[in-house]
Amino acid sequence: MSEPNPNPAIEPQSLNAVHHLDDAPNSTRLSQPAPLDAATRTRLVFGVILILLGIIAGLGVVYNVIMIIDGTANYPIIQQLIPEAGARVITTPRGDIELPERLFRILGYGLVIFLLGMVSKIAAIFLRFGCGLLNSDLKELVINLKNQLNR
């Protein structure tokens, strides 16, 4: 025995019932989407461009981090930060202190990591705004689809 429906306004549909869009009067086929207006196309294009730029920048950051970890990275900025042996000497009243080359190399890698962090933030912003532009299009498309299905 089946239980009575507590909400008579909502009738369960039969599992054997098959509904086709072709059977409905005045139905439009879903394979022919409505043409996009200029604003929607612009948002779509800029959204895709921003997402692609974000992905490319993110892959570049990952590649550079892997190069730093492997020790194969050779950044000219690090070599420019390392002064000659005579320029690394600090003269104090107690005597001369020579700063090691390793200190300048660590500062150079710190600068490179800081710059990679900035690029990763820019990549995240590109991805966020690109997805936001595409998300607004998806909302409009779902609303239009819902309106067409309710006809």
Mean of per-residue pLDDT scores for the chain? 79
Which of the two residues, 110 and 22, has the higher pLDDT score?
110
Task: Report whether 124 contacts 54 (CB < 8 A).
Answer: yes
Residue 15 has what pLDDT?
Answer: 47
Domain ranges of the chain: 43-150
* Dihedral (Cα; 118, 116, 50, 141), 10-degree rounding: -80
Residue range 92-150, pLDDT digits in tens: 888 888 888 888 889 999 999 999 999 999 999 999 998 888 887 667 767 777 777 77
Task: Report whether 72 contacts 62 (CB < 8 A).
Answer: no
Measured CA to CA, the distance from residue 131 to residue 151 in angstroms comes to 30
Neighbours of 34 (CB within 10 A): 11
Model pTM greater than 0.75? no
